[in-house]
A and B are shown apart, each in its own frame.
Chain A
């Protein structure tokens, strides 16, 4: 198989992994100040992702690095195009990353609630911005023949892309609810609350998801690929089923559903883009594709060998870590 195609698929895999893992991670962060009422509950929330969030975040760093290595033109055009959005996302990730470590080091309620809100901001801001970014990717950009973005920051914001942002934040929040439902003590007082939050959030998220799908029809050419349309419709159905499952207290099914919905949507977006990665709205021929934006065959082959060796190793030890920390978290075993 063509190495450029291999790397396109690998980057889809990395983004799927990233949205799946950081999805519930961001979700827990978004819910933190609202669904958890006191310090003990908040610590339970944080501990549910404590051992793993850092490893989850590396999926994004790896996706960025892989983009740089395999499709340097995409990396260059996209990152300079999203300059302000990435700046905001970085601020979010910075405060989030330190908040997890700083929060527990000082026993004062105002100190802790400061970092709780930092975790919230650092979770909802990237979640929203990823939604804006993905809808923009589907919509396309004013990219000229030199692969340089000609628009401004404001061109990246439209009703469609903002709805995309809200949808992502809501879907991730629901994904977080389903994750917490599996990770927290069944007898905890949080459990009934998670059910209620799940129903309300999940319902709203499903409505936004469908609106976003409709806008995708009017704003993009994604559905020219019937596979892309099929994947996204399937994702929507699975998502609705997940919301129902969460309401019925079938937490395992709810989590499988929200995970599957995220994976299917990611796949649907990339299938619709293929073989383009960045669409030029100025001239289709100026789009960045897997052929005109890629690295040399030599670099791609080196990277492929490395990926074949290391991706399985990383997956094995990351799954192992989830296995070690598989036990539900009770108020008794809070650790700092």
Chain B
């Protein structure tokens, strides 16, 4: 394999792995802060114990997120140095600002929160976890500002063969970043909510501290439902935006080869990318047009037309991303989103009817396993965002093939690729082991101060 393919593979593996932990950190930090605040207000030990247990799980995911995040920052210089040269003027600023405004905040105050319980007034201790939560989520905003430029460049000129920033405010208010940030934030809330439900269900199955974990399930499910409604809403608006600004991404997500008006939403199809057509199609008429335009009509451009249009604009090249993967990723994302919503609503119904108890083992077991759903959904979601912009590194400005470092060899990338993959795999085992230990411990067993 050549350096480009290997570098792409390495970036994909490290990013996907990184993003297994980020949504937990984003959503769980807020939830732990909320739990700590409730405890501060009413002094009910149940909330303190929940905050402690999920605080520990948060620390594990935070640590994993940080160490894999450093790899991401270095990647741009190591494997994608031509991208860094071309884009440094624009891309470096949000990264530096992330470190300066958010990363310091979360790292420093996480230390305060972990070690400061017996040394600080309760209110300051609680404030520190809020600062961590704020920092984590602000951090994701900066990263998404950088990513949004790659999806939809704004506020720049091309000068001396590189992109130069002309309007910083335009970068911060890139319409793409609103949709993406809202979607990421709410998917974090969803992921954390389902994690809390899953762990609480496990503890109920063990018959341990039933009263505490009944509360846990309720809080987790409410949090997840709020997250799910918001994630679907923001996802819908974001898709409309993509439909108008990244038509190739949208057409590929839909495997829509020819222009259509009105366009149907395809539920199932056998996609033939060579012949550029679909067979065995099951579709809902008008639905895609309706999704994009809020009315059952309106033309949606097909892949073939967009390919011709791009060739006219940017020269002879294949501008079609991996249609089959995008098509199915989108359907998995939508399908699992609805499945999660259904499961959480049923759980809330059971809680409301007081029919959810430790004896309800079948449903509880399902809830324990529901934890895999948000992770799959998050992963395919990012695949759609990043896979859908191929072959562009920066939409319309730089192709992935032109972004790779000039002086690295495929042997070097092979070594790092294998190295990262092996270490990440070992870390996954260790992180799961540690998390299971944390979950299995009796939450009422008091240990010395700290967390």
Contact = CB atoms under 8 A, between A and B. Distances in A.
A58 B108 CA distance: 9
Interface in B376-417: 405-408, 412, 415-416
B82 A87 contact: no
B73 A295 contact: no
A299 B149 CA distance: 15
B449 to A, nearest CB: 5
Nearest to A118: B430
Nearest to A146: B406
B115 A314 contact: no
B60 interface: yes
Given A51-B114, A76-B82, A295-B92, A68 B419 contact: no
Given A50-B114, A95-B423, A299-B165, A70 B70 contact: no
B108 A55 contact: yes
A153 B427 CA distance: 27
Contacts of A311: 100
Interface stretch (A24-32, A101-109, A241-249, A265-273): A101-109
Q: Which of B66, B101, B419 has the most CB of A within 10 A?
A: B66
Given A68-B92, A91-B423, A298-B164, A98 B431 contact: yes
B89 A61 contact: no
Contact of A101 (B63, B99, B433): B63
A70 B87 CA distance: 12
Nearest to B90: A299
Interface in A303-319: 303, 306-307, 310-311, 314, 317-318
Interface residues of B, number: 76
Given A51-B114, A150-B407, A303 B81 contact: no
B77 A79 contact: yes
A51 B110 CA distance: 8
Contacts of A336: 447-448, 450-451
B68 interface: yes
A296 B423 contact: no
Chain A interface SS verdict (over half): helix
Say which size band chain A's interface belongs to.
35 or more
Interface in B57-110: 59-60, 63-64, 66-68, 70-71, 73-74, 76-79, 81-82, 84-85, 87-93, 95-101, 103-105, 107-110
B206 interface: no
B21 to A, nearest CB: 11
Q: Considering the complex of A and B, which 10 residue pairs feature the smallest CB-CB distances, nearest first?
A: A72-B88, A79-B77, A69-B92, A335-B450, A68-B92, A65-B96, A76-B81, A51-B111, A62-B99, A97-B67
14 contacts: A51-B115, A53-B111, A54-B66, A62-B103, A76-B84, A80-B81, A83-B405, A97-B63, A102-B60, A150-B407, A296-B164, A299-B92, A333-B449, A335-B448
Interface of B: 56, 59-60, 63-64, 66-68, 70-71, 73-74, 76-79, 81-82, 84-85, 87-93, 95-101, 103-105, 107-112, 114-116, 118-120, 159, 164-166, 168, 405-408, 412, 415-416, 419-420, 423, 427, 430-431, 433-434, 437-438, 447-451
